[in-house]
């Protein structure tokens, strides 16, 4: 076994920025008064992170790619059989079960961020897509924004519980690898973090977001009072 670079820098940055953003989104929605504007800005940033991760999942280094860690039911079942086996070898990237869990988390987060674009604080601030949607769409989006988070809280709790399970029961420490990127493994290392490509993808994601948030939606109608 050799110490090999598995998680590229952009994937690690994505993860920890995502964690900070979700905590901030919870704080600005639930704990702080008058923080809705910040909730919007951080929500756009989170959406940008997710757009980046989707593209990175297609063109990023080996272990960041969806095609590497999204497997069929056979692999998932085979992996499930070894789940409580203390000596099962650690997997270099996401394991077959964890891979699907990542997809569930990303999907819920995307639903959360997109439904937010239709929300209102009922006082001053409307999400950029609110004016474009009819009442039944707004109802659905409002339900989704609340429901997705109620589910996300449990999914995140399970994510952290799984990491603890691996550390305590299986003696596999996954968190250090998400920090420095390296794991002791027989699998090959990635050649590089593809930082220039990541920068281009980040700029493209930001541009796509600017278009979706600032250019695409119509100007909000200003009500005139006489
Ligand atoms: C808001 C809370 C969190 C969210 C939404 C979240 C989300 C995610 C996502 C989407 C991934 C997949 C990474 C990728 O391939 O891009 C991931 C992986 C990971 N997360 Fe989190 N995470 C959260 C909190 C945490 C915390 C607090 C820890 C540390 C205790 C942690 C440790 C890890 C580790 C170690 C992995 C890699 C798992 C593996 O080796 O397969 N996460 N997380
Ligand atoms: C992934 C990103 C996001 C997360 C995790 C998130 C999370 C939350 C949470 C937990 C709540 C409170 C729900 C409740 O009370 O049950 C909330 C409310 C809200 N969110 Fe988000 N949100 C996100 C993105 C957005 C975006 C992009 C917008 C708009 C551009 C937005 C607009 C709102 C509004 C207007 C409310 C209602 C605030 C109020 O009650 O005054 N959210 N969000």
Question: How many CB atoms lie under 10 A from the CB of residue 53?
Answer: 23
Does residue 205 line the site of ligand 1, with CB under 6 A? no
- Predicted local confidence at residue 222, as pLDDT: 59
So what CATH class is 2-215? mainly alpha
Average pLDDT of the chain is 95
Q: How confident is the model over 150-209, as pLDDT tens digits?
A: 999 999 999 999 999 999 999 999 999 999 999 999 999 999 999 999 999 999 999 999
Cα–Cα distance for residue pair 180/185, rounded to 1 Å: 15
Cα–Cα distance for residue pair 189/91, rounded to 1 Å: 13
> 74-104: buried (b, 16+ CB within 10 Å) or exposed (e) per residue?
eeeeebeeeeeeeeeebbbbbbbbbbbbbee
- Predicted local confidence at residue 181, as pLDDT: 98
Q: How confident is the model over 111-128, as pLDDT tens digits?
A: 999 999 999 998 889 999
Cα–Cα distance for residue pair 126/140, rounded to 1 Å: 16
Rounded distance from Cα 216 to ligand 2 centre (Å): 21
Ligand number, closest to the Cα atom of 30: 2
- Predicted local confidence at residue 224, as pLDDT: 58
Q: Which of 34-38, 68-72, 194-198, 219-223 has the lowest mean pLDDT?
A: 219-223
Does residue 163 line the site of ligand 1, with CB under 6 A? yes
- Predicted local confidence at residue 219, as pLDDT: 75
Ligand number, closest to the Cα atom of 42: 2
Q: Which two tokens stand for residue 78?
A: 């085979």
Task: pLDDT band for 89, please (50, 70, 90 cuts).
Answer: confident
Rounded distance from Cα 67 to ligand 1 centre (Å): 19
Nearest residue (by CA) to ligand 1, atom 23, is 19
């Amino acid at each position: 076994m050799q110490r090999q670079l598995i998680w590229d820098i952009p994937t690690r940055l994505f993860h920890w920025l995502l964690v900070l953003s979700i905590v901030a989104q919870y704080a600005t929605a639930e704990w702080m008064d008058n923080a809705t504007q910040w909730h919007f800005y951080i929500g756009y940033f989170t959406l940008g992170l997710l757009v980046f991760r989707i593209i990175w999942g297609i063109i990023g280094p080996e272990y960041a790619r969806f095609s590497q860690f999204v497997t069929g039911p056979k692999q998932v079942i085979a992996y499930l059989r070894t789940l409580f086996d203390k000596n099962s070898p650690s997997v270099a990237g996401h394991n077959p079960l964890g891979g699907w869990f990542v997809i569930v988390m990303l999907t819920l987060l995307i639903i959360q961020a997109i439904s937010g674009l239709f929300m209102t604080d009922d006082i001053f601030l409307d999400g950029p897509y609110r004016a474009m949607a009819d009442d039944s769409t707004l109802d659905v989006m409002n339900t989704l924004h609340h429901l997705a988070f109620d589910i996300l809280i449990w999914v995140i709790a399970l994510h952290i519980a799984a990491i603890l399970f691996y550390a305590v029961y299986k003696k596999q420490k996954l968190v250090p690898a998400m920090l420095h990127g390296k794991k002791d493994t027989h699998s090959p290392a990635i050649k590089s973090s593809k930082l220039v490509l990541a920068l281009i993808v980040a700029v493209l994601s930001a541009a796509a977001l600017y278009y979706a948030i600032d250019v695409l939606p119509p100007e909000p109608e200003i009500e005139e009072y006489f």
